Copies of this chain bind each other. A is one copy, B any other.
Amino acid sequence: MLDRIRIVLIGTSHPGNIGAAARAMRNMGLEDLALVTPRCDPKDREAYSRASGANTLVDAARQYDALEEAVADCTLVVGASARSRHLPWPMVAPRALAESLPQALAPAEARVALVFGREDTGLTNAELQRCHQHVHIPTNPDFSSLNLAAAVQVLAYECRQAFLALDSDLQASSGESISESEQPFGVEWDNPPATHADLERFFVHLESTLTAIEFHDPDNPRQLMARLRRLFMRAHLDSMEMNILRGILGTIDKRLRERS
């Protein structure tokens, strides 16, 4: 389970934080580190110094130009956020998130990304809206700004706790197959989850079709696409549903072309 959890750091300024995050990850058994447009040299001396033996993770970290590339193959994307801004978004506590991961990772092809923003400004609204849900680490209201690596440490720790609990459950049930309650929706599902890349293609198509039918005005977008994102992301679409929705959009496009 832990090997299918990716830590994504966006726009990190301090190489020490990348090293310390790598160390926290490896301590907790996570191995998959992705960096999106770091604002420092991730292989700076300070990164290795703070990694303190987790150098392999720093060396293996892949770099991306945008969040959507870093999470394209992920089936659940969770953004670390202080508080939902503007538009409320599904929000979980670290423990509830970690306890949901065995279910979310039950399908063999499932992958989870935990996304962390910049030291100074966190995640942008556009980045937050690419997430299925947000996770908030409860902090002292008078002093709430967690260090980046400390936030990674807390979530990685909770992931490991959930993994250890699962492991002992499995041992207790003498290695039987995953029970129905551990499936993503409490039962064995009929189709694999849609990937982030599928979803993003769908949203591009949706916006294009809504513009074509003149429901949506890209010059005056208001919150329309954000609200539709929020709706479809929290439903955790499966691949068949994704195909149906794309099929509906394609059919609308066709009818519009016939008209002109």
Known A-B contacts A153-B153, A258-B259; the reply to A231 vs B235 at CB < 8 A is: yes
Partner of A234 from B89, B137, B154, B185 at Cβ < 8 Å: B185
Among A62-70, A104-112, A236-244, the one that faces the other chain is A236-244
Q: Is the CB of A138 within 8 A of B160?
A: yes
A138 and B150 form a contact (CB under 8 A) = no
Decide: B186 and A92 in contact? CB cutoff 8 A.
yes
Query: What distance in Å separates the Cβ of A129 from its nearest Cβ neighbour in chain B?
Result: 14
Indicate whether A128 reaches chain B with its CB closer than 8 angstroms: no
Is the C-beta of A124 less than 8 angstroms from some C-beta in chain B?
no
Within 8 Å by CB of A187, from B88, B160, B188, lies B88
Residue A90 CB within 8 A of the other chain: yes
- C-alpha spacing A153/B151, complex, angstroms: 9
Find residues 227-253 in chain A having any chain B CB closer than 8 Å to their own CB: 227-228, 231-232, 234-237, 240-241, 244, 247-248, 251-252
Tell me which residues from 20 to 64 in chain A have a Cβ below 8 Å from any Cβ of chain B: 20, 23-24, 26-29, 50, 52-54
Find A90's partner among B24, B53, B91, B186 (CB 8 Å cutoff): B186
The answer on a CB contact under 8 Å between A138 and B153 is no
Known: A91-B185, A149-B150. A215 touches B24 (CB 8 A): no
Contact A231 B227 (CB under 8 A): no
**Which of B27, B29, B145 is A145 in contact with, Cβ under 8 Å?**
B27
CA distance A140 to B149 in the complex (A): 17
Assuming the contacts A147-B24, A228-B244, asked whether A88 and B154 have C-beta atoms less than 8 A apart, the reply is no
Kindly name the residue among A153, A164, A237 whose own CB sees the greatest number of chain B CB atoms within 10 A: A153
C-alpha gap A231/B244 in the complex (Å): 11
1/0 per residue, CB under 8 A from B, across A73-108: the answer is 000000000011001111111011000000000000
**Distance in Å from the Cβ of A45 to the closest Cβ of chain B?**
15
A135 shortest CB reach to chain B, Å: 9
Q: Nearest 8 pairs between A and B by C-beta?
A: A91-B186, A235-B235, A259-B259, A90-B185, A29-B140, A91-B187, A215-B251, A26-B143
Given contacts A88-B187, A138-B161, A232-B235, 17 further A-B contacts (CB under 8 A): A27-B140, A27-B143, A27-B146, A27-B150, A50-B147, A54-B143, A87-B190, A90-B186, A95-B161, A138-B160, A150-B150, A153-B154, A185-B234, A215-B248, A227-B244, A228-B244, A231-B237
